[in-house]
């Protein structure tokens, strides 16, 4: 049995995909939400129009603790509290983070937070260029499954792959989680560029310089450069910075247009920009794009001011 904790769009989509191979338990935080999904066989709040296969059992309350992997599909800023509250049920099993970001309190990524909170668990991360609806519809998707333990990584790759969900294995969990976290920051910036009407050329420049920053911080934190060039880095960056399906991109567009954004929508890149900037400064690294995005989301700068700040930087070699 596969256990997925978190009944948002991505957790539900993974449940739908993995139910092709066998029973899946989908844990929802709110019993009212769980009851609605059980009765309607659909997650109308987060993934409307997608039927839940009969192999999916929706629960809430206590987290079951049978042996086997547990997928943690919840917002990054909620992960630490969840791990602390349920560490008894989560102990001594593979825990696969399915969230992207950096924890504001600790500055850690998902696997670092798992290792700190549940030291006897085996941390892993599932990340890469994907939208929940594509996965639920069975559209071809490739992701990175990163785990520092090679045996557990191979097992997870086998268990979590489906005919339409192809997983590539990596041992560089730090690089994989940084790619998934930092691309959201750059996506906010790209959305702001397009929302402000600054054009495709400006977006391409921001993506490229943003990718250089992603690699700079990843190297400073011990990640492998080839990881950032793969699905969890460049692949996810390309998708998130060019599609209105991305919440981070849409949020950036709203900033660029000077419009309000739906506060109920999770935008991981907003918190990650602040956390990443803190880590970069501690390492003595320059990350001007990240700094500009952090200032945008905090309201310290408007888009025009952020652009002026970036363009006024000293000329340099690439």
Residues carrying CATH 1.10.1040.10, the chain: 180-311
Q: Which CATH architecture has domain 180-311?
A: Orthogonal Bundle (1.10)
Cα dihedral 242→43→88→61 (10° resolution): 150
Place of tokens 């998934």: 180
In this structure, the chain runs to a length of 318
Annotation says 183 is catalytic: yes
Residues carrying CATH 3.40.50.720, the chain: 2-171
pLDDT tens by residue, 113-144: 999 999 999 999 999 999 999 999 999 999 99
Tell how strand 42-43 and strand 47-51 pair up: antiparallel
Distance CA 168, CA 143 (A): 6
Distance CA 118, CA 83 (A): 7
Distance CA 304, CA 301 (A): 8
pLDDT tens by residue, 6-40: 999 999 999 999 999 999 999 999 999 999 999 99
CB 231, CB 142: distance < 8 Å: yes
| pLDDT for 164 beyond 90 | yes
pLDDT of residue 267: 97
Structure tokens at 294: 């952090």
183, 216, 247, 279: the catalytic one is 183
Q: CA of 281: how far to CAs of 2, 212, 275, in Å?
A: 40, 16, 10
Burial class (CB in 10 A: 0-12, 13-18, 19+), 296: buried
pLDDT of residue 159: 96
pLDDT tens by residue, 86-115: 999 998 999 999 999 999 999 999 999 999
Distance CA 195, CA 208 (A): 18
Q: CA of 128: how far to CAs of 33, 93, 159, 182, in Å?
A: 27, 23, 18, 12
pLDDT of residue 75: 96
Strand order in the sheet with 24-27: 56-59, 24-27, 2-5, 70-72, 94-97, 122-127, 141-147, 165-170
Domain 2-171 - what CATH class?
A: alpha beta
pLDDT tens by residue, 234-283: 999 999 999 999 999 999 999 999 999 999 999 999 999 999 999 999 99
pLDDT of residue 31: 97
């Amino acid at each position: 049995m596969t256990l997925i904790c978190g009944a948002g769009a991505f957790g539900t989509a993974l449940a739908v995909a993995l139910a092709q191979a066998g029973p899946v338990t989908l844990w929802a935080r709110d019993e009212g939400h769980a009851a609605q999904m059980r009765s309607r066989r659909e997650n109308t709040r987060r993934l409307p129009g997608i039927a839940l296969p009969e192999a999916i059992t929706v629960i809430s309350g206590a987290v079951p603790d049978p042996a086997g992997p547990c997928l943690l599909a919840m917002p990054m800023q909620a992960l630490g509290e969840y791990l602390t509250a349920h560490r008894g049920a989560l102990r001594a099993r593979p825990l696969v983070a399915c969230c992207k970001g950096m924890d504001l309190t600790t500055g850690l990524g998902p696997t670092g937070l798992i290792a700190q909170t549940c030291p006897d668990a085996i941390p892993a991360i599932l990340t890469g260029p994907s939208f929940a609806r594509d996965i639920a519809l069975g559209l071809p998707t490739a992701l990175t499954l990163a785990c520092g333990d090679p045996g557990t990584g191979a097992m997870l790759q086998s268990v979590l792959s489906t005919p339409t969900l192809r997983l590539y294995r990596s041992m560089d969990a730090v690089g994989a989680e940084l790619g998934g976290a930092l691309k959201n920051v750059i996506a906010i910036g790209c959305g702001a560029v397009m929302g402000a009407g600054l054009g495709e050329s400006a977006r391409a420049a921001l993506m490229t310089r943003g990718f250089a920053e992603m690699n700079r911080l990843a190297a400073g934190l011990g990640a492998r450069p080839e990881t950032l060039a793969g699905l969890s880095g460049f692949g996810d960056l390309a998708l998130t910075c060019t599609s209105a399906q991305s919440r981070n991109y849409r949020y950036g567009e709203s900033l660029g247009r000077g419009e309000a954004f739906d506060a109920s929508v999770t935008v991981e890149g907003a918190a990650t920009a602040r956390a990443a900037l803190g880590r970069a400064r501690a390492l003595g690294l320059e990350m001007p794009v990240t700094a500009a995005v952090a200032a945008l989301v905090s309201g310290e700068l408007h888009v025009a001011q952020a652009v002026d700040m970036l363009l006024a930087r000293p000329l340099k070699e690439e």
